[in-house]
Structures are given as C-alpha cells and as structure tokens.
Amino acid sequence: MPPKIKSRKPTCVIPFPFILLEGEEGAGKSYTAIEFTKSERVGSCYVLDLSEGTADEYGAIPGARFEVIEHDGSYVDIAEQVEAVKEEARRAAAAGEPPVVLIVDSGTALWRMLSDWAHARARRSKRNRDKLRDDPDANIDVTRNLWNDSVNRWDRVIRAMQTFPGIAIMLARGKEISATNEDGQPLLDDRRRPVREWKVGAQKDLCFDVTMWVRMRRDQTPELVKARTLKFRVESGKPMQLPDFTIERLVFDLLGCSTASQPRQMPVLVGDRTGPWMERIAAAADRDACLKLWDELDAGSKTGLSEMEWHTVRGAVKARAAELAAPKAGIDDVPESDAARLRAAAEAQQAEADAEIVGETPVAA
C-alpha cells in the first residue's frame, strides 16, 4: 500500500519559547531568570546550576519558588535530569496545568565541559601521547570526530529544550571581542582599527536553535536580539530595546503566551526508528529478555519498522544474546595454559550455540 498523507490544520496558538538569556558578567542574568519563578502564570520551576553557584542563595528572592536540580557533575547525569524535567513538563501540559519552567545556568559551562572532554580525549590518543612525550608543551590536535562527539552530546540537551513542553531558558556568557579571520588574524576596518564583534560563550549554533534571544549588559537596557514570532519584527542588526525587562513581560505580554499556549510541535528528528529498540536491547539483562524482544519482532509490520530497520534490530538482539551467553573476559581472566585456552574456546563455542536458540523462531518481516 502506498503511504498516506498525515496532516492537520494549524492551531494558530502561540507556543511557549526557548529563551537564550546572555550577556556580560554581573549583568543580572541569573537574578532575572530566577525572579521569573515568582510569576503566578507558571507552574513548577527547576534550576539546573552548572557553574554559577547562585541557585541556593537566590532562593531568597522575594516570591521565588523553584527546585534546585541535583547532579553529580557528569554529562550523563546532567542530560538525564534535563530529560526528567521534560517528562514532568509533558505530564503537566497533558493535565492542563500551568507551564513548567526549566532554567539551565549556564550553557557556557556545559559547552566548556564538553570542549574539555574533547581535549582530554585528544591528549589520550597515541599520536598526541607521542607528541607530548617529546614536547610537553606541544600543540594538541583535536580531530573532527572528537568535536563531533562533543556536539552530539550538546545537541542532546538542546533537543530536549527545543521540544520542551513548557518554558525553557538557557543562560550564557556574552562579551565583545576583536573579530578575526579564518587564520586567527585580527580584522581591521578601513581606518585600520580593530573590528569588534559580540561573542556568545556557547556552542556556535545555540543562537539559531533558540526562539527568543535577549542580551544583557551592565548599566544598559536589555535588548531583544531575535524573536521567532508573528507579533512583531526584530530587524537584523537592530535589537529591540526592553525597558523594565522581565521574562514574565517578555513571555506573556510581549510574545503573547497564555495558559492556552501549547508546547512547540517539534518531534525529535531521528535517522531511523531503531533508537528505542537499541536502548531496550542494551538494557536486556538475560536470555529471557532477549527472547521477549525477539517475540515482539515476530509481529512483523506491527513494529512500525521498515525491512532494513527490522533486520538491523534483529541482528542486534542476536548479538546481545551472544554477549550475555559469553561475557567478554576481563584483564585477569586471560587463560594462561594451553588446557585453559582449549576450555575457554569450548565454552565460547557452546555460548554461540546457546545464543543461536534466540534465532530459531521464524520471523516474518
């Protein structure tokens, strides 16, 4: 059967924003974000403090009400906590409750951590270890694959905030710097003066990913640099002045959100449908769990997988079953004698035979 069109009429309802609040140190970014939690038009509020250390103290702001998200400093724990708040926001939205607010303070700290991770991995590579052995001050090459891994981790958090069914706010540092060319040399204007530009301290695509972008500077009126909305227009290079700025005014008065607003309709883009299956396969703890997955695959087209995806998942189930039947030897488990090696080989062969039992059930794609 040919595929059928899946479509709907637009709702015309203003979605809740994903806000970037960036600027100079001491400009009041953290205070402004946490002050928003006292609004009666929002529901539960959560603050993920990654570097500033102000969340507990700023709990004393009159009327502020929020929970401080605890984490162990690791990327995995941070990403999982963002996703956990997203699930709570989804529940609140489905129940018709006021929008949940997530504040990440800051994106600068998150990207610095991921950049440091890429550099640390680069230093551990054989090529760079050899360079550092000969010259401890040698320049380290961070290869593209390492930067791609860092960007993928960054994107996991950003995707969760882009599809957050509530109001998501990310803070970041921003400052004016001297512009440089591709070779790192300073750019000069017609009068040979250094060209200045504004730099946001985060992954370079953040400004594209957010729907609202506010800049704060000391002793200056906050500016709206970007707004994805039909309510008004912010021209390129001409930020909109925001006198008496608060996030509550921005979201509910200027942007026009209300309790009737909806989460952004943005399903996460995936290359195929195997992702959830792969997570379940990796979590399978024994042969019975693998058999259960195999039986589900026996449903054929009911899985929603294409033929190629089905074969990919099927192979992953068999590989997981084999892995569980014959765990990889540890460093202390290497057979020392010929007899021990023969026994290990026989055990591995038997494990492979046991794993093949998973594949005995005929499956129709």
Domain end, chosen from 224, 254, 284, is at 254
Domain of 222? 18-254
- pLDDT confidence band for 361 (50 / 70 / 90): very low
Residues 293 and 245 grouped into a single domain: no
What is the average per-residue pLDDT within 91-95? 91
- Residue for token pair 């540092």: 173
Work out the percent of the chain whose per-residue pLDDT is above 70.
Answer: 86
**Does an H or E element contain 215, and which?**
strand 212-216
What is the average per-residue pLDDT within 21-46? 96
Contact present, 13 and 36 (Cβ < 8 Å) = no
Q: Which residues pair with 68 in a beta bridge?
A: 47
Residue 268 domain-assigned (yes or no): no
Residues 242 and 330 grouped into a single domain: no
Residues 227 and 297 grouped into a single domain: no
Residue 178 domain-assigned (yes or no): yes
In 3D space, the residue among 41, 34, 46 whose CA is nearest the CA of residue 85 turns out to be: 46
Residues 69 and 189 grouped into a single domain: yes
In 3D space, the residue among 91, 105, 76, 82 whose CA is nearest the CA of residue 43 turns out to be: 91
Residues 140 and 216 grouped into a single domain: yes
Residue 329 domain-assigned (yes or no): yes
What pTM value is reported for the model? 0.77
In 3D space, the residue among 60, 14, 9 whose CA is nearest the CA of residue 257 turns out to be: 14
Residues 191 and 83 grouped into a single domain: yes
Residues 211 and 121 grouped into a single domain: yes
Residues 78 and 177 grouped into a single domain: yes
**Span 311-345, pLDDT tens digits:** 898 899 999 888 888 766 665 555 556 666 666 66
- pLDDT confidence band for 357 (50 / 70 / 90): low
Domain end, chosen from 223, 254, 285, is at 254
Contact present, 63 and 38 (Cβ < 8 Å) = yes
Residue 244 domain-assigned (yes or no): yes
Residues 232 and 106 grouped into a single domain: yes
CATH code of the domain containing 247 = 3.40.50.300
Residue 10 domain-assigned (yes or no): no
Residue 336 domain-assigned (yes or no): yes
Contact present, 282 and 317 (Cβ < 8 Å) = no
Domain end, chosen from 254, 283, 300, is at 254
**Span 38-79, pLDDT tens digits:** 999 999 999 999 987 889 999 999 999 999 999 999 999 999
Contacts of 11 (CB under 8 A, 6+ apart): 262
Residue 341: the pLDDT is 63
- Residue for token pair 């794993």: 355
A 10 A CB-CB count for 360 gives: 7
Number of domains in the chain: 2
Residue 169: the pLDDT is 98
Residue 7 domain-assigned (yes or no): no
Residues 281 and 237 grouped into a single domain: no
Residue 365 domain-assigned (yes or no): no
Residues 34 and 140 grouped into a single domain: yes
Contact present, 363 and 314 (Cβ < 8 Å) = yes
> CA 232, 25, 108 angle in degrees (round to 5)?
75
A 10 A CB-CB count for 273 gives: 15
Residues 299 and 209 grouped into a single domain: no
